[in-house]
Chains A and B, each alone.
Chain A
Amino acid sequence: MNTTVPSEKQQTVKHPLQKKRRRVLIALPILMIVMGLGSLMIGQVSFSVSEVLSGIMNNEDTLQRRIIWELRFPRVIIGMIVGMCLGIAGAILQGVMKNPLADPGIIGVTSGAGVMAIIVMVIFPAMLALLPIAAFFGAFFTALIVYALSWKKGGASPMRIVLVGVAINALMGAVTNALMIIYSDRVQSVLPWLSGGIAGVGWAQVKMVVGYAVVALVLSLFAIKHIRVLTLGDEMAKLLGHRVERSRFYLILLSALLAGIAVSVAGLVGFVGLVVPHILRLMIGGDYRYLLPASAFGGGLLVVFADTIARSLFNPTELPVGILLAFIGGPYFLYLIYRKSGSFATN
């Protein structure tokens, strides 16, 4: 180096949102765990904190133990996994497609996973263990089809992706309905799954997905670097020596895996992937080093929260969490369209 500069810089060059980012990143996981604890306490039968703790620790076969450990605990875990996967999948897709509307549900990826999952459930019920893999392939191929069909001369424009996604969604919906009519005798088991819910999940489901989820969450950490370079624009990323097509493929694969995991246990839960990264982007900005982990915890928090409400609000009737999320997500989506400004926290 022929010139050197005194380096007292570090203090002064922090991003203006740095403090807020740190606070959000610390608060979200804590809130998620507190919400999880709350979810163990609240319900048709409510418990105190100490009752919950003894329910987790004690091995005695009491009613309290059964409700907390056998019913509510796996449900909270699944809620967190589903929320984290959907939050990250949404954040990744929004980054890859440079489109704030990208969400595994809106661009048809969830419904693709759903079709595969229904095929397994009604046609090959014996192969239920393969459900996450089937859902993943469904999600992955739909994502590829949507991306390929939106591709036109050097790129996939956000508008085309959404339009193609709508069309693919309609197609997948038709396939789903056709399957349900053809196999109408077996449809009972699929119905709650279709509206998206985690009622009745137990340790079996946790066992089924937890391995996939851990792998996918770790892989997501590697996604951050790729998304950050891509946000400079495809050309700039290429000029910096980044292999743009390869990393985009990796990111789509990863978001399909995440969406597939969520769909395989929770069915068609929508809006988490759209709303969570979006709100967080408004709060802490678009830097994926913060946005991606925040979306994970935010997603987990939202799903556990919504599920707790969904099963206790209309006691003793339980709403599927997917319906409740649609109640929250739909109006929020309209609000975003109406407001349509400030996609950056620093504006």
Chain B
Amino acid sequence: MLQTSQLSFERSTAFKLNNIDINIQPGEIVSLIGPNGSGKSTLLRVISRLITPDEGSVLLDGEEIMRMKTEDVAKKLAMLPQMNDHQLDLTVRELVEFGRYPHKKRSGRLSAEDEEIIDWALEVTGLTHMAGRVLPAMSGGERQRAWIAMAIAQRPKVLLLDEPTTYLDISHQLEVMELVHELNEKFGMTVIMVLHDINQAAQYSDRLIVLKRGQIHYDGIPQCVMCKEMFESIFEIDADIYRQNGKFFFTPNRLKKA
């Protein structure tokens, strides 16, 4: 579905994404985790063509992303950058309409199919009843769902989310995670997201990729990645790992600096 081969990007002498090779299968939920400044967001931005890598390439369905027409990429890949919280003077529906932008014909009018997809996006995100509300009049969680609705109205095969739960309270966080789960389960969307909450990442992902200083250190199913050594080497903390109903959790104990 989506591959990167030997991606390198040097932002400054202090930070460099180095030789990133990942291979995302169709229908996977993959979370990128790692400490601040590890390059998770940067990697996501390279994958979404917001940043041009110095070396290497990103392949979407076997095609190199930088060689594709940008609107063709937008038909297959949608991304929500970190908490896109401008207070735009738009109704929810007007925002979601922008998701059809890459699909629009020259005339710029919405087709019946566009309208249907917009209705669907509103329905899936549970926003049908507030389609006429304006963004500034909504709560942070509702706004985040509205942006997600816009992203999925693109009908992408791959959805990239950069910290979709930041600044949300716990119930809204779970709402967003459940929504991601549903999009993956019901509609087969491949999801790659950056998450700060490692427990949530482990709970909702098929696979975790752990970055530190611009390099991939772990890449595997949560069961394999969630281990004491990982927390020690990557986050420099001592952690206990628990297992409940087949899911893995950790609790941090204390800092453990080498």
A residues contacting B by CB (< 8 A) are 1-5, 7, 9, 12-16, 225, 229, 231-233, 235-236, 238-243, 285-287, 344-347
Contact = CB atoms under 8 A, between A and B. Distances in A.
B94 A15 contact: yes
B116 A346 contact: no
Contact of A4 (B84, B101, B116, B134): B116
A241 B131 contact: no
B78 interface: yes
Contacts of B128: 5, 9
B241 interface: no
Contact of B136 (A225, A287, A347): A347
Interface string B91-126: 111100011011000001000010111011011100
21 contacts: A1-B116, A1-B117, A5-B119, A5-B120, A5-B128, A7-B119, A13-B92, A13-B93, A13-B131, A15-B90, A15-B94, A15-B132, A231-B86, A235-B81, A240-B74, A240-B98, A240-B99, A241-B73, A241-B74, A241-B75, A241-B101
Please indicate which of the listed interface residues A4, A9, A286, A345 has the most CB atoms of chain B within 10 Å of its own CB.
Answer: A9
Contacts of B116: 1, 4-5
Contacts of A236: 81, 84
Contact of A239 (B50, B122, B131): B50
B132 A13 contact: yes
Given A239-B79, A242-B101, 11 more contacts: A3-B120, A5-B122, A9-B93, A235-B50, A235-B81, A239-B78, A240-B74, A241-B69, A241-B73, A241-B74, A242-B70
B50 A238 contact: yes
A278 to B, nearest CB: 14
Contacts of A346: 89, 134, 136-137
A239 B123 contact: no
Q: Which 7 A-B pairs have the closest CB atoms?
A: A241-B74, A241-B71, A13-B132, A241-B102, A286-B89, A13-B131, A5-B119
